[in-house]
Structure formats: C-alpha cells, structure tokens
Amino acid sequence: MDIAKGRYYFTADVHLGMSEDPQGLRQQSFVDFLNSLPAEAEELHLLGDIFDFWIDYKDVAPRGYVRVLAALAALVERGVKVFFYPGNHDWWVTDYFEKELGVKIVRGCWSVMELDGRRICVGHGDMPGATDFRSRFFFRLFRNRFLIGGLKMLHPRFVFWLARKWTASSRSKHSKYVKRFGNDIEKTGLFRFADDFGRSRAESSQPAIELYIFGHIHTPARVSVPSGGELVVLGDWSQGPQYLSL
C-alpha cells in the first residue's frame, strides 16, 4: 500500500467488525495501512468509530481484532504516538488500549493541539455535529457511567447481539442523514460548530484554530470556515483507506 509521507496521520470511521464486511476486507485494509506508515510518522490520531462496536470488560476482550491490535502495538513499540478519540460506536473503551497496547485514550468532545506551530481542533464529531435534542440526548445517554456499568453486568454475548442490532439501525439512520445533506458540508452541525468555536476563541482573545479535523458523518470534504481556518471531514473506509497526512 502506498501511503502519502507525513509526520502526523488522522483517520476515522473504519467500523471494523461490521456485519456488512463478513470477509474482513476492512480489517485487512486497515492493518495494511498501519503497517505501511512511513518511518517519518510520529503520531497517529484515530478519530473514533475505528470499531463498529467495542466495550472493555475486566476479563474479556472482543475477538476478531488480534492483527489490528498487534499492528497498533507495533507502531507504539517503534516510537509512534497513537491517540484514540472514542466515537459513538466505540466510546466504551476504558484502560485496555492504554495498558495492553500503549495507545493514549483522549476523552472529550474535541481536543485542541499544536503541531509544528499550527493550532488544530480534532475529535470524532458526533457531539459537535449534534444540533437537535434527540441526538444530544442519546449522546449523553450512551456516555452515562451508570448505564455503562449496568451494561457490563450483562453477558457479553447478549451485549454484542444488542450492539449489532443498534449499529445496523444507526447506519440506516445515518444513510438518511447523508442523503439529506449530500456533499453540502456547510449545512451540517460540524460546520456550524467550527464557525462558532472560532468566533468564541476570537472573542476571548484565544489563538485562532487553523485546522478542524473530524469524522462521523462519512462524507469527505475540505472547506473554509467563515471565522477562520479550514474544516476537514474524513470519509469512512467503505471505498478503501481514508486518512489525512500532515
């Protein structure tokens, strides 16, 4: 696999383990991507929904991802810093990735960082893009620690059966969302978030954001933000590897 050379890599929405990929082609493609990152690579930022569903248990790890986990561990061992920003499909990670693989879990709806003098805002994009009450309600419900604790008390086989039902329903609703907005990113909540976030930083005399990088809506785009900077939306992996290198 030919990977564009860069020092910093961003990808999202691989959705490993989805029922629509019974042959595991996405996993093979993702493993090839991880193994092909050049020697210059310093950081890899996984912006959520890398897995179609993931939940950490104290004594149980989801099966089927050994090669992916090994490739991530190999990157960490060679000195690449790997950051995982959980999305709405894999929010329920706890300490497995940090303790077993050395992958840093980054919580929160978004994170602001500086890379080589460029100030960047990154995240999965589900909460920044949630503009209606229903979306925000489910966003907070799925992150409720009491709900998560109750979920982990159930048998893993039942939890993953339930998860497969939910993820299939989620994709169906998401396809309607894509049909609604098409490629007009300026109509989405992510675009409004970036514009409002930039204005609020300017009003409080904080340094401007030069680049916003999100996933979640599965529609790749790169547009200018009225309040300054650019918004990059990463596509999903339905048509092969999708990533941004800087």
- 110-154 tens-digit pLDDT: 999 999 999 999 999 987 766 566 666 666 766 777 777 777 788
The answer to whether the beta carbons of residues 126 and 87 sit under 8 Å apart is: yes
41 burial (CB, 10 Å; 0-12 / 13-18 / 19+) is buried
The answer to whether the beta carbons of residues 91 and 170 sit under 8 Å apart is: no
**What is the reported pLDDT for 169?**
67
Three-class secondary structure of residue 198 per DSSP: helix
**What is the reported pLDDT for 197?**
95
**What is the reported pLDDT for 61?**
81
**What is the reported pLDDT for 135?**
63
pLDDT tens string 17-29: 887 787 788 999 9
Token pair of 155 as six digits: 């048998």
148 burial (CB, 10 Å; 0-12 / 13-18 / 19+) is middle
**What is the reported pLDDT for 132?**
61
Residues in the chain with pLDDT values less than 70: 129-139, 141-142, 169-183
Contacts of 47 (CB under 8 A, 6+ apart): 10, 11, 12, 13, 85, 87, 122, 123, 124, 125, 213, 214, 215, 234
Hey, which CATH number is domain 8-245, 1.20.1280, 3.60.21, 3.40.1440, 2.30.29? 3.60.21
Record the pTM: 0.89
